[in-house]
Structures are given as structure tokens and as C-alpha cells.
Amino acid sequence: MAWHERDFLASLTSVAPRTITAYRSDLSAFTEWARRGDVHGPEDVDRTMLRRYVAHLATRHYARRSVARKVSTLRRYFAWATRTGLVPADPSLRLSAPSGEGRLPRVLHQDEVNGLLDVAPAATGPGPPAVRARDDAVLEVLYGSGLRVGELCSLDVDSLDLARGRATVWGKGSKQRVVPLSEPSVAALRSWAAARQQLLTADTPAGALFVNRRGRRLTPRDVARILDRRAASPTHPHALRHTFATHLLDGGADLRAVQELLGHADLATTQRYTHVSRERLRRVYDATHPRA
């Protein structure tokens, strides 16, 4: 109780469940490390101790992105501890963290996308036709609208307006946005709507759009399994979102429009896709121009 972890996590009212899980893990790792140094509460933590912890993480060969996330957790925790009076001053102010590796997100080639979306029914293996219809709709919406996998899983039936070709999505920070649905997405969603009843059970949450074979709301892990079955090589669900954004920019879409479609609060987050797009264009140039 000395660290008040539960109170801190309860204060995160506008944070996604997966982010809360990460905060819980990061904070528990820090408090366990602090206890080994005979520090048993936030009031005994100073900036020097936090810097030693960051150095400790580096010696354990954590990736720079992981260390940066852990530092971000500590900053948020001690900002909360300061506001609530647990500590007189925030020791995490100006605490530096290594920058991320800056890796470019993986983007699928068009033939890879086609392989996912246009796969022959026989290639998906045995199973109820309703599962095939669901999988088709899931993949079409992920690529066609660029949703985060958590946004897709949280969709309800009444989130869709198929007549107008759009969906209402709740994104990070409980922010709502309306995204367009492609024609193939609308067609796949209509097929799924016709078959959805076959997978519903007494335990199905009211209104859940996508459900698994047990009738429960589809989870990100369920979506990952769909991709495991369909993709020729390991593919994360988020790769379809990266591909959506990059293909829009390759086609000449305005950066601000892509930001709106993705639900990014900061344009800088969207701008990384311009680097991906330029890299793709460079590869095309090098491979096809006679004097490249």
C-alpha cells in the first residue's frame, strides 16, 4: 500500500486497458527494484535513484523503446503522486530516457494484401462458413479503414452505417471519430451480418459486432490468430493499419486527412508514414529506373 499502485491505476480513467496493464507491470518492476534497495515508498525516491534505475535497465539489455516506456510510466506515476500529496516534489522532472530505435513500421506489399483479402475459401481450412465471413470482414475493415485492432474489437452492430459506408469508432482517450468503409468492407460486413447469428450464444455481449466461436466479443489475440491463418508470413494486425496509411500517402492523400482517418492527436505521429512512403518510392525508383 505504501506505493498506492491501485490508486494510481484507478486514476487512469481515459487510458486503454492494455496501456494500464503496461503501467502496472512497469511500476511493479520499479517498486520491486526499489525495495531491494530498502526504499519502500515514493517519498524516499529522488532523481538520483531514478537515474540509477534507468542505468540498471540499460545493463539488463532492455530495448531503448522499452526503457523509454518505463520512464514514461514513472513520470506519470510521480506526477500523480505529486498532485495527490504523496511526495512534496516530482523527482522525475527532467528525467531523460533513450530515444526509440525509430524503426519504420512494416508495410505489406499489394500482393501480400491481396493474398490476405482474396484468399480462396479452400485455403482457409475447414470451419463454419460464418467464421470465413467474419474473418473476411475483419481483415477488410482493418485494411480498408485503418483501425487499431482494439478499435475493431470494440465495434458494436450499431457502430455501422452501411448505407452511408461509414463507422463510428472510439479511439484512444475515448475520442470518437467517423471513418469511411470501403466498398469491399461494406460487402464483407453485409455477408457477416447475414451469418453472425450462427456464432451467437447466451454469453454474447449485447450488440458486439465481431464474436469468436464461443460467442464472446473478439479479442486482439483472436484477430492475431486470423492473420496467422491467412498470412503467408508472420504479420501483426497493426501492419494493416501501417499499410492503410502508407498506401493513402502513396496515392497522394493529404497528410492532415490521413491524420484524421487514423485518429492521431499529433500530426508528428502521422508524419512517420511519410518516411515509410518515401522509402518505398526510393526502392521502386532503384528497381525500375534505367539509370538508378
Residue-wise pLDDT tens digits, 61-72:
788 888 888 999
Q: Is residue 91 part of a domain?
A: no
Q: Provide the residue range defining the domain that includes 171.
A: 110-287
Model pLDDT, residue 14:
75
Q: Is residue 231 part of a domain?
A: yes
Q: Catalytic site residues? A: 148, 172, 238, 241, 264, 273
Q: How many domains does the chain have?
A: 2
Model pLDDT, residue 121:
55
Model pLDDT, residue 100:
53
| Count of other CB atoms within 10 angstroms of residue 54 | 18
Model pLDDT, residue 268:
77
Clarify whether residues 123 and 264 are in a common domain: yes
Clarify whether residues 212 and 124 are in a common domain: yes
Percent of the chain with pLDDT over 70: 94
Clarify whether residues 129 and 164 are in a common domain: yes
Q: CA–CA separation, 192 vs 203, rounded Å?
A: 19
For residue 62, what is the domain's CATH number? 1.10.150
Q: Is residue 100 part of a domain?
A: no
- Residue 28 above 70 pLDDT? yes
Q: Is residue 190 part of a domain?
A: yes
CA dist list (Å): 11 to 15, 28, 42, 76, 84: 9, 16, 17, 11, 11
Clarify whether residues 253 and 124 are in a common domain: yes
- Residue 94 above 70 pLDDT? yes
Clarify whether residues 177 and 63 are in a common domain: no
pLDDT in tens, 259-281: 999 998 888 778 878 877 777 77
For residue 192, what is the domain's CATH number? 1.10.443.10
pLDDT in tens, 71-80: 999 999 999 9
Q: Where are the beta strands (DSSP E) in 84-218?
A: 160-161, 166-170, 176-180
Model pLDDT, residue 124:
55
What pTM does this model have? 0.66
Nearest-10 Cα torsion for 154, 160, 162, 165:
-80
- Residue 125 above 60 pLDDT? no
For all residues of the chain together, what is the average pLDDT?
88
Q: Is residue 97 part of a domain?
A: no
Clarify whether residues 199 and 261 are in a common domain: yes
Mean pLDDT, range 116-130, rounded to an integer: 71
Clarify whether residues 181 and 131 are in a common domain: yes
